[in-house]
Amino acid sequence: AQSVAQPEDQVNVAEGNPLTVKCTYSVSGNPYLFWYVQYPNRGLQFLLKYITGDNLVKGSYGFEAEFNKSQTSFHLKKPSALVSDSALYFCAVRDMRGGRDDKIIFGKGTRLHILP
């Protein structure tokens, strides 16, 4: 069965510094990988996805993520953090092979706190 792990409950970064939010996954086949963001009192919003192709994918609000097949990771990054990036971030995975793991499941989330 597929799984996704976000090892950090919270990440604190000073404004203007680069940020990384970590995600690792496990699937039987090849993964579809996603990042979603949840701002306070708001619904989940799609940020970016990896399906195939370039290992570095770009998404909304200046975020990008790097797919690393050998390390089964899909870390979220941004070169320069903004206070407005403070939110809850969720990594998600779907097994491209289909079958029982053809559903999208989410990690437990990482709270990103950007310090002014």
Partner 1 sequence: DTGVSQDPRHKITKRGQNVTFRCDPISEHNRLYWYRQTLGQGPEFLTYFQNEAQLEKSRLLSDRFSAERPKGSFSTLEIQRTEQGDSAMYLCASSIRDREEKLFFGSGTQLSVL
Point out which residues bind partner 1 (CB under 8 A): 6, 32, 34, 36, 43-46, 49, 51, 88, 90, 94, 100, 102-109, 111
Write down the least CB distance from residue 52 to partner 1, Å: 8
Q: Are strands 110-115 and 10-14 parallel, antiparallel or unpaired?
A: parallel
- Nearer CB in complex with partner 1: 91/114: 91
Write down the least CB distance from residue 72 to partner 1, Å: 18
Write down the least CB distance from residue 19 to partner 1, Å: 19
For 60, list phi and psi in degrees, rounded to 5: -75, 160
